[in-house]
Amino acid sequence: MNSRPKKSFGQHFLHEKRYIERIVSAIAPRTDDRVVEIGPGEGALTLPLLAAAGRLTAIELDTDLIPDLAARAAGVGTLEIIHADVLKVDFTAVARGLGVPRVRLAGNLPYYISSPILFHCVDHAAAIEDMHFMLQKEVVDRMAADPGSKVYGRLSVMLQLACRVEPLFDVPPGAFRPPPKVDSAVVRLVPLAPHERHDADPLRLHAVVKAAFAQRRKTLSNALKGLLDSAAIASAGVDPKARAETLAPQDFVRLAKLSA
Ligand code: SAM
């Protein structure tokens, strides 16, 4: 099928076979896996993933794409299509419904909501075995950035406190129809095991990290006014005169635990 891609849904359909094959072999689905695909579109990844796993759950917002996708899956495997906005899908409930503790997530994500999708996945990390996502390369660089890097920020800290972040390979615009204006990259995210996860209150952590990076050039004692004073910052083992971009993800956990 060759539908007219809709800009408002962030539709850039993958057509280059070698990248489709590289993504599917990075995921390496097994027959007992419960794979959940975000944004199946015309099925570039859906059909090979379905052929390998035997069954697949796909979440698609664009109603127009669904009948054709269902028809093409017939005879390949069992495809369940959830017509929904992925940001409203409770992955924990999806895993429960599939009778497994954790699902494997995959998708060439709609770029206009890539960060909200990533934060949504972090909220459900305990119900996710791993994730393989195509994103803007710039976003993957931010997710994997180390402290001190220009692109280290809120996304790096929040993702790295929840998952192991492993950039896999880059994908050029010409691999998609229509080509996006930016380079893309595939990343693997593996949620941390329970004993590796931080134990700070999630809302406090969000508040501290957001405030710390809101004005990157400010010292922490200025940026965190109202949440932590200089003495509290120092008691977390962090220099109040430091800037957020120099802190390791775990420093934010200690700050969050002491915050108001
Ligand atoms: N997987 C296909 C491929 O690789 O060719 C399509 C990828 S395209 C970049 C993103 C897909 O996500 C589209 O099919 C689009 O309709 C769908 N989508 C956009 N917003 C969505 C949302 N909020 N929830 C679920 N799917 C969404």
pLDDT in tens, 185-198: 999 999 999 999 99
Residue to mutate, 60, 85, 176, ligand 1, most ligand atoms under 8 Å from C-beta = 60
133-185 pLDDT per residue, tens: 999 999 999 999 999 999 999 999 999 999 999 999 999 999 999 999 999 99
For residues 76 and 140, membership in a common domain is answered with yes
103-108 vs 35-38, strand pairing mode: parallel
Residues 143 and 207 in one domain: no
**CATH number of the structural domain spanning residue 46:** 3.40.50.150
Is 170 domain-assigned? yes
Domain boundary, last residue among 159, 177, 196 = 196
Q: Is the same domain home to 137 and 14?
A: yes
Looking at the 3D structure of the chain, how many domains does it have? 2
> Is 39's C-beta closer than 6 angstroms to any atom of ligand 1?
yes
Residues 190 and 214 in one domain: no
CA of 47 to the centre of ligand 1 (A): 15
Assess whether 192 and 209 both reside in one domain. no
Residue 1 lies in a domain: no
Q: Is pLDDT of 126 > 90?
A: yes
| 104 shares a domain with 52 | yes
Mean pLDDT of 110-127: 95
In this prediction the pTM is 0.96
The predicted structure's pLDDT at residue 1:
55
**pLDDT for 132:** 98
Strands of 78-83's sheet, edge to edge? 78-83, 55-60, 35-38, 103-108, 128-136, 184-191, 163-171
* Residue 131 shares a structural domain with residue 225: no
Q: How high is the pLDDT of residue 260? A: 72
Ligand 1 mean position, distance from CA 207 (Å) = 30
Predicted pLDDT at 2: 63
> What's the mean pLDDT when you consider all of the chain?
96
Q: Is the Cβ atom of 139 under 6 angstroms away from ligand 1?
A: no
Let me know whether 247 and 164 are in one domain. Answer: no
* Structure confidence at residue 73 (pLDDT): 96
Does residue 223 lie within any of the structural domains? Answer: yes
What is the pLDDT, as a whole number, of residue 3? 72
Question: Are 132 and 181 members of one domain?
Answer: yes
The per-residue pLDDT for 32 is: 82
Mean predicted confidence (pLDDT) in 195-222: 94
The atom of ligand 1 lying closest to the CA of 6 is 16
**Run of H or E including 56:** strand 55-60
Q: What percent of the chain has pLDDT over 70?
A: 99
Domain finish residue from 171, 196, 221: 196
Of 57, 154, 143, the residue nearest 97 (C-alpha): 57
Report whether residue 14 contacts ligand 1, using a CB cutoff of 6 Å.
yes
249 and 156 assigned to the same domain: no
- Quote the domain boundaries for residue 219: 202-258
Residue 216 has a pLDDT of: 84
Burial class (CB in 10 A: 0-12, 13-18, 19+), 56: buried
61-110 confidence digits (pLDDT tens): 999 999 999 999 999 999 999 999 999 999 999 999 999 999 999 999 99
Q: Please indicate, yes or no, whether residues 188 and 216 belong to a single structural domain of this protein.
A: no
Find the DSSP H helices in 29-113: 46-53, 66-73, 91-98
What's the CA gap between 238 and 260, in Å, rounded? 17
